Amino acid sequence: MRVTALASGGKDSTYAAYLAETQGWPVDELLVLRPSDPDSLLFHTPNLGLVELQAKSWGKSCRVVEVSGREEADEVAALRSALKEAGDVVVAGAIASSYQWGRLHTVCYSLGRRLFTPLWGKAPERVVREEITAGLDIRLVQLAAEPLDESLLGARLDLALLEEIERRRREVRAVNVAGEGGEYESLVVDAPFFQSRLEIEESERSGRGGQHRLRVTRARLVPKPGRSL
């Protein structure tokens, strides 16, 4: 049985793929869908090019599929085409987005693929704490919510920062602390199951309309003590 994990480089897709492996489903490939629309509702967009480095560090194959067109129908068609070549099981990191889950479920069902979403329906606070305590080194690479100001761009999402986000949610404005409403996007630069860590060498910051983004322009894999590339 082959297993394909939809991968964005962010915390949820990475953690979901890891959970699949802990439950006896070794992931054969990481599948990246790269949309032409930077504001895609179906797919994560920041720093997708770094998934190939993550895959190398994790010892996985990586397949990148370009998504042309900006309409929902274009994105769903690209997803269907990509999943035709996927494994018997498709892993995704959806937590609460019915928009994403519904379309994934429909496409997987029509292709006879089993959809595994281990984070689905869990409390956002629980998911993020699990990801942090599992050892994921998570960086915030896009912010798009009032309580999350530009000073947090590039910050490591650890338990202290999670508690600060929860405080701002209570005192400033309600947000989904897992970023499921697009409040933020993330990048995993290290994990216990990576052979090497991702080192960001150069990056660019940009902002428009209350959205702040960190685009990594150069990165490399750095061996961890006792391991090699």
- The domain in which residue 195 lies consists of 124-223
Asked if 25 contacts 91 with a C-beta cutoff of 8 angstroms, the reply is yes
**pLDDT tens digits, one per residue of 133-146:** 999 999 999 999 88
Looking at the structure, do residues 165 and 219 belong to the same domain, yes or no?
yes
Please check the confidence at residue 219 and state whether its pLDDT lies above 70.
Answer: yes
Do both 102 and 22 map to the same domain?
A: yes
Evaluate whether residue 58 is within a structural domain.
yes
Examine the domain organization and report whether 96 and 131 are in the same domain.
no
Model pLDDT for residues 51-71, shown as the tens digit of each residue: 999 999 999 999 999 998 888
DSSP codes of every residue in 176-228:
-TT-TTSSEEEEEEE-TT-SEEEEEEEEEEEEETTEEEEEEEEEEEEEPTT--
Residue 229 domain-assigned? no
Q: List, for residues 56-113, the tens digit of each pLDDT value.
A: 999 999 999 999 888 889 999 999 999 999 999 999 999 998 888 899 999 999 999 9
Whole-prediction pTM value? 0.95
Residue 228 lies in a domain: no
